[in-house]
């Protein structure tokens, strides 16, 4: 076969494959309607910024002997409360009540057309949920962006936080101060509109799992891709853009020194997550996202800090090696 014809055939096959992949991606509703949840999803309806909003959350009672403690799990930017599934099960079995909310703008919660996103607002929303559930003392476990939110919550409501656990949190550095360019909300929006199953999987493979993929990770790719592929495609992308702007412009880095409660950093040392690294100049990109160093640096800033490292693991150790992670988490939580 002549070379140019074989190239045309190959190109055609790629086009057909991509079309098939797009068609095979489910179309979930803007609040993840249609996704198969392993727990009953509950709703907290409230008014914020002159609009009615709904916050989805998981509330799992202890399946083992109850120890009287409640753990609140805060998800990351490209995650949902349900992605904590392995930890929810392990913590419940160990006697904890577990609350895993979806923050406004994410997953099963409302996607408002206009919302002034701030970590303070999301912390207040979460506190109001806990008030509704009559919970006044919690252990906070925050992953990725949820680590920034958990830090802000702990700074705002220190009397309500028994312990703080940060799992590969972003915000261990101020990317803007280190030279990462600012990106407008409109630019973020155009970027988010292009999200696909293929782009999600490529990013997760490299960043979350350090090049090692397991079939059980596919479920979470499908969840995000289906949300982005559904009838709420544009409003999901718009809220995502607003949230990225919040993350980039509202650092918590400078306030780690003010945390008043015991805090544990759980760090996959091969993580390289850094917001805006895709548009950062080479010299800036080279100096951001080094979690093998950032974990140690921030542990030194927090007055009552413990550092637990997972050598060679990526951005989501609770999903990469759940048994190993949950054993370490529960051991830490059970410390007097």
97-101: strand order across its sheet: 42-48, 51-60, 97-101, 70-74, 138-143, 161-167, 263-268, 305-310
> Does position 20 have pLDDT exceeding 60, yes or no?
no
Mean pLDDT of the chain: 94
The runs of H, that is alpha helices, within the chain are: 3-24, 85-93, 119-132, 145-156, 185-193, 197-207, 218-229, 233-249, 282-285, 291-299, 317-320, 322-333
> Does position 296 have pLDDT exceeding 80, yes or no?
yes
What are the angstrom distances between the C-alpha of 110 and each of 45, 54, 318?
10, 5, 26
The number of helix segments (H) and strand segments (E) in the chain equals: 12, 8
DSSP characters for 295-328?
A: HHHHHTTSTTEEEEEETT--S-HHHHSHHHHHHH
The β-bridge partners of 56 are 43
> Does position 14 have pLDDT exceeding 50, yes or no?
no
Predicted local confidence at residue 233, as pLDDT: 97
Predicted local confidence at residue 8, as pLDDT: 41
Per residue in 152-176, pLDDT (tens digit) is 999 999 999 999 999 999 999 999 9
CA atoms of 58 and 273, how far apart (whole Å): 27
DSSP secondary structure letter of residue 135? -
Predicted local confidence at residue 23, as pLDDT: 61
- Name the phi and psi angles at 19, rounded to 5: -65, -40
Question: Quick one: average pLDDT of 306-331?
Answer: 98
Check residues 73 and 9 and name the one with the higher pLDDT.
73
Question: Quick one: average pLDDT of 282-286?
Answer: 97
> Does position 10 have pLDDT exceeding 70, yes or no?
no
> Does position 19 have pLDDT exceeding 50, yes or no?
no
186 by DSSP, 3-state: which? helix
> Does position 7 have pLDDT exceeding 50, yes or no?
no
Check residues 263 and 19 and name the one with the higher pLDDT.
263
76 by DSSP, 3-state: which? coil
Predicted local confidence at residue 335, as pLDDT: 87
Contacts 24+ apart (CB under 8 A), 186-191: 186/241, 188/240, 188/241, 188/242, 188/244, 188/245, 189/237, 189/238, 189/240, 189/241, 191/241
CA atoms of 136 and 134, how far apart (whole Å): 6
- ∠ CA 265-122-114, rounded to 5°: 140
> Does position 227 have pLDDT exceeding 60, yes or no?
yes
What's the pTM value of the predicted model, to 2 decimals? 0.92
Per residue in 236-275, pLDDT (tens digit) is 999 999 999 999 999 999 999 999 999 999 999 999 999 9
Q: Cβ distance 25 to 225 under 8 Å?
A: yes
CA atoms of 104 and 107, how far apart (whole Å): 8
Per residue in 191-226, pLDDT (tens digit) is 999 999 999 999 999 999 999 999 999 999 999 999
At a CB cut-off of 8 Å and minimum separation 6, what does 301 contact?
Answer: 256, 257
């Amino acid at each position: 076969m002549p070379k140019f014809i074989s190239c045309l055939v190959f190109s055609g096959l790629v086009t057909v494959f991509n079309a098939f992949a797009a068609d095979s991606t489910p179309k979930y509703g803007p609040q993840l309607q249609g996704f198969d949840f392993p727990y009953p999803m509950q709703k907290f309806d409230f008014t914020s910024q002159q609009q009615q909003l709904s916050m989805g959350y998981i509330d799992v009672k202890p399946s083992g002997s109850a120890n009287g403690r409640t753990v609140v799990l805060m998800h990351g930017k490209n995650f949902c409360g349900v992605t904590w599934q392995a930890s929810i099960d392990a913590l419940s079995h160990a006697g904890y009540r577990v609350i895993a909310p979806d923050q406004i703008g994410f997953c099963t919660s409302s996607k408002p057309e206009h919302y002034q996103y701030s970590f303070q607002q999301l912390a207040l929303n979460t506190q109001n949920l806990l008030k509704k559930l009559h919970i006044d003392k919690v252990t906070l476990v925050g992953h990725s962006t949820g680590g920034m939110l958990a830090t802000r919550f702990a700074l705002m409501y220190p009397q309500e936080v028994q312990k703080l656990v940060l799992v590969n949190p972003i915000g261990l550095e101020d990317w803007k101060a280190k030279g990462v360019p600012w990106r407008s909300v409109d630019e973020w929006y155009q970027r988010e509109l292009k999200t696909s199953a293929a782009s999600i999987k490529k990013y997760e493979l490299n960043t979350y799992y350090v090049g090692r993929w397991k079939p059980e990770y596919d479920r979470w790719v499908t969840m995000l891709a289906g949300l982005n592929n559904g009838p709420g495609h544009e409003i999901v992308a718009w809220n995502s853009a607003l949230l990225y702007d919040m993350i980039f412009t509202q650092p918590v880095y400078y306030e780690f020194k003010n945390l008043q409660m015991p805090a544990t950093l759980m760090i996959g040392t091969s993580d390289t997550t850094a917001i805006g690294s895709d548009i950062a100049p080479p010299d800036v990109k080279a100096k951001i996202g080094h979690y093998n160093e950032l974990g140690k640096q921030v542990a030194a800033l927090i007055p009552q800090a413990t550092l637990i490292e997972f050598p060679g693991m990526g951005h989501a150790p609770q999903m990469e090696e759940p048994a190993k992670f949950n054993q370490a988490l529960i051991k830490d939580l059970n410390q007097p």
